[in-house]
Amino acid sequence: MKKAVFLDRDGVINENLKDIVEPSQFHLLHGVSEAIKKLNESNYLVVIITNQPVIAKGFCTFEDMDAIHQKMKNELAKEGAKIDAIYVCPHHPEKGFKGEVPELKIDCDCRKPKPGLILQAITDYSIDVENSWIVGDSETDITAGKTTGLKTILISGKLESAGNADYTFKDLKTAVEHIIIV
């Protein structure tokens, strides 16, 4: 069994823009490469769990999303950091977007706060849930983590508002420092 840190993408790894639909819009947040490298060095699997409804809405394709993620991996690799896996929910339950992809407009089990993507990763990588974490910037991330038994960290500028999270930190770098010493 392997320990892992599940990371939400937008708002934790990169700037949380409204819709990131092409690689040029993707920018790592300060300290992210260093934080992920520390997780790698501490023998944590690093797994991205991300809702990307822009695919279902028709704003970008799976190929566009793959290009965005390749840019992320390349930028991290330049600093000696790596992502072990990326799980994407491309679905969105609401209809009415011009160019939407009808077969992806469903109420699925993989869109956070539902735990489908996390459960799939746990199975795929034999993850030790009791010694693993999820780091996200929204209550949907925290709920998905709690549902699967992960320890939870909320990334927020409002440190007093942990909500249901076990811990709250201002950024991924600070969160990882905590994970490594616990």
Q: Token digits for 5?
A: 């840190």
Q: Using an 8 Å Cβ cutoff, are 112 and 12 in contact?
A: no
Structural element, H or E, at residue 119: helix 116-125
Alpha carbon distance 115, 127 (integer Å)? 14
CA angle at 164 for the pair 163 and 167, rounded to the nearest 5°: 85
Q: Which residues are catalytic?
A: 8, 10
